[in-house]
C-alpha cells in the first residue's frame, strides 16, 4: 500500500512538472511568434500584434464599445497589446479607469509610450493567466484567448476568472473552429461549448457574429 501511494504521488509530481514545462514552452512560443512579427513588420504595427490589418482590430473594438456605457467605469484589458483599446475608448467615453496587461514586454513598452502618460491609465507586463485580477466593472479580452494551449480547460478557467473579477460584465472574442483554418500558434474554439459554459455562470449571455469572418464575441452581463 505504501508503495502504491508513493508511485501515485510520484506520478502526480511528474504530471505537474510536465504541465509547468508545457506552460513555459507555450509562453515562449507566443513571445517568439510576436518577436518574429515585430522583426518582419516593425514595432508598433498592428501586424506585429497578429491582426491581419488595422480594420480587423477596429471592428472588434467597435463590438466591445457598443455593448455598454463605459463612462466612469473601471476596465481591465487582457492581452492589451499596444493599449490601443484605451485610445479607441477615449474617443467615445470619459472618466474611465483603464488597466492593460500583456505578456509581451515590447507591447507594454509601446503601450506606455502611447498612453502611459494619460490619467487613470496603467500597464503591467505579466502572464495574465497566472496573476490575480483586480476587481473592476468590466473585463475585456480581444484576441487574448485565441492562442493554442495544451490545457483543454484553459478557456473555461479564464472565463470563470474574468467573470469573478467583474462587477458588471465581461466581453471576449474567439476564433470559430468551424471556420478558422489550422494555424501553428492560433486556435479556433467550439463556440457552442463556450457559450454553454458562459450560460452556466451567467443568466445574460449574448453571442455576437457577422462583424468579422471567423470571429465571434461573447458578452456576459451581470
Is 153 among the domain residues?
A: yes
Is 19 among the domain residues?
A: no
Nearest one of 61, 37, 54 to 173, comparing CA atoms: 61
Is 215 among the domain residues?
A: yes
Contact criterion met (CB below 8 Å) for 76 and 140: yes
Is 96 among the domain residues?
A: yes
Beta strand ranges found along 87-163 (DSSP E): 97-102, 121-125, 136-141
DSSP strand pairing (215-221 vs 166-175): antiparallel
Q: Is residue 21 predicted with pLDDT exceeding 60?
A: no
What residues contact 119, with CB distance under 8 A and at least 6 apart?
Answer: none
Q: Output the pLDDT for position 208.
A: 97
Q: What percent of the chain has pLDDT over 70?
A: 87
Backbone φ, ψ for residue 128 (5° rounding)? -65, -20
Is 17 among the domain residues?
A: no
Is 115 among the domain residues?
A: yes
Instruction: Specify the number of domains making up the chain.
Output: 1
pLDDT digits (tens, 9 = 90+) for 111-162: 999 999 999 999 999 999 889 999 999 999 998 998 888 788 999 999 999 9
Greater confidence (164 vs 21) lies with 164
Domain that residue 204 falls in: 52-221
CATH number at residue 96: 3.40.50.150
Is 18 among the domain residues?
A: no
Is 14 among the domain residues?
A: no
Q: Output the pLDDT for position 13.
A: 46
Amino acid at each position: 500500500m505504501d508503495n502504491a501511494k508513493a508511485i501515485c504521488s510520484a506520478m502526480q509530481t511528474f504530471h505537474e512538472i510536465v504541465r509547468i514545462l508545457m506552460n513555459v514552452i507555450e509562453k515562449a512560443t507566443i513571445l517568439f511568434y510576436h518577436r518574429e512579427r515585430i522583426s518582419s513588420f516593425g514595432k508598433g504595427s498592428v501586424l506585429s500584434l497578429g491582426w491581419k490589418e488595422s480594420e480587423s482590430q477596429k471592428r472588434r473594438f467597435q463590438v466591445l464599445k457598443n455593448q455598454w456605457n463605459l463612462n466612469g467605469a473601471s476596465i481591465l484589458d487582457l492581452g492589451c497589446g499596444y493599449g490601443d483599446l484605451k485610445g479607441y475608448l477615449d474617443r467615445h467615453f470619459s472618466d474611465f479607469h483603464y488597466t492593460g496587461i500583456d505578456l509581451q514586454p515590447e507591447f507594454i513598452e509601446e503601450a506606455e509610450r502611447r498612453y502611459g502618460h494619460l490619467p487613470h491609465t496603467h500597464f503591467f507586463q505579466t502572464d495574465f493567466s497566472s496573476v490575480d485580477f483586480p476587481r473592476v466593472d468590466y473585463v475585456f479580452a480581444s484576441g487574448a484567448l485565441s492562442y493554442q494551449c495544451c490545457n483543454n480547460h484553459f478557456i473555461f478557467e479564464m472565463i470563470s476568472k474574468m467573470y469573478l473579477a467583474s462587477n458588471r460584465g465581461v466581453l471576449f472574442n474567439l476564433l470559430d473552429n468551424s471556420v478558422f483554418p489550422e494555424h501553428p500558434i492560433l486556435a479556433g474554439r467550439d463556440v457552442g461549448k463556450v457559450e454553454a459554459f458562459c450560460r452556466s455562470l451567467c443568466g445574460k449571455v449574448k453571442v455576437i457574429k457577422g462583424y468579422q469572418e471567423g470571429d465571434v464575441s461573447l458578452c456576459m452581463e451581470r
